[in-house]
Amino acid sequence: MPVDVYGPALAHQKEFPAYLSYYNRIEKNTMWKHADRHFPTTYYWKNMEKELGRQINTLKELNSIRNTNAFRKYKRYAHTFDESTISVMESTYRNPTDFGNDLANAKWIEWWVRAEIWGKYKIEPHYVKKWVENAGLHSSYYHHYEKAFDDAPPKMTLIQREKADKESLKGFMIAKGSTM
């Protein structure tokens, strides 16, 4: 890619589709590597807060960052971690004892977002019940998951989900003011 080409101008570059695919693949593979190594989702949450330059502690603050690239990356990683955990649980090689968040350091708001992600991606209720129970969470988190589950469109296939992730990334790359 040419140096110093960002935002909307990036979309007009001949090499942009290849660059987008490359960037998407690197991000996806890095997240899968972290999930396989059991990096807690709280690690990505803290990186998101660092990238945003502020702490997220309330629903109002959460709503103000929902359309940021940092939040997009957190959601993508959290779902990647969940998929990895489910794969391990279904393989019956071992039953994981850690389901994503750093139980000692995760904020309630991060759990709230995780419940939304579980619902949005139609994670099966028996997994979510186990995760909520493991974390010792109040039933309101499970009810939040149920609402997100009911409101979500039908579960996407892997190909549909990867296409949606790539489109979301593309939106941030070509947005006005982007430096990606």
The answer to the question of residue 116 being in a domain is: yes
The answer to the question of residue 138 being in a domain is: yes
Over pLDDT 70: what percentage of the chain? Answer: 94
Predicted pLDDT of residue 138: 87
The answer to the question of residue 107 being in a domain is: yes
Do the Cβ atoms of 148 and 122 come closer than 8 Å? Answer: no
The answer to the question of residue 72 being in a domain is: yes
The answer to the question of residue 179 being in a domain is: no
Q: Map residue 102 onto helix, strand or coil.
A: coil
Give me the phi and psi of 168, to 5 degrees please: -65, -45
Q: How many domains does the chain have?
A: 1
The answer to the question of residue 23 being in a domain is: no
Give how far the C-alpha of residue 26 lies from the chain's centroid of Cα atoms, to the nearest Å.
Answer: 15
Predicted pLDDT of residue 59: 96
Give me the phi and psi of 101, to 5 degrees please: -80, 150
The region of weakest confidence among 44-53, 60-69, 131-140 is: 131-140
**Token pair of 128 as six digits:** 């979510």
The pLDDT confidence band at residue 101, using thresholds 50, 70 and 90, is: low
Average pLDDT across the chain, whole number: 90
Predicted pLDDT of residue 97: 64
Average pLDDT score over residue span 140-162: 95
Residue 1 has pLDDT above 90, yes or no: no
Residue 38 has pLDDT above 90, yes or no: no
Average pLDDT score over residue span 154-172: 93
Residue 96 has pLDDT above 70, yes or no: no
pLDDT digits (tens, 9 = 90+) for 63-83: 999 999 999 999 999 999 999
* Residue-range definition of the domain harbouring residue 157: 39-171
Q: What is the pTM of this model?
A: 0.91
The answer to the question of residue 25 being in a domain is: no
Alpha carbon separation from 70 to 18, 50, 101, 113, 138 (Å, rounded):
23, 9, 17, 14, 27
In whole angstroms, what is the distance from residue 178 CA to residue 180 CA? Answer: 6
The answer to the question of residue 19 being in a domain is: no
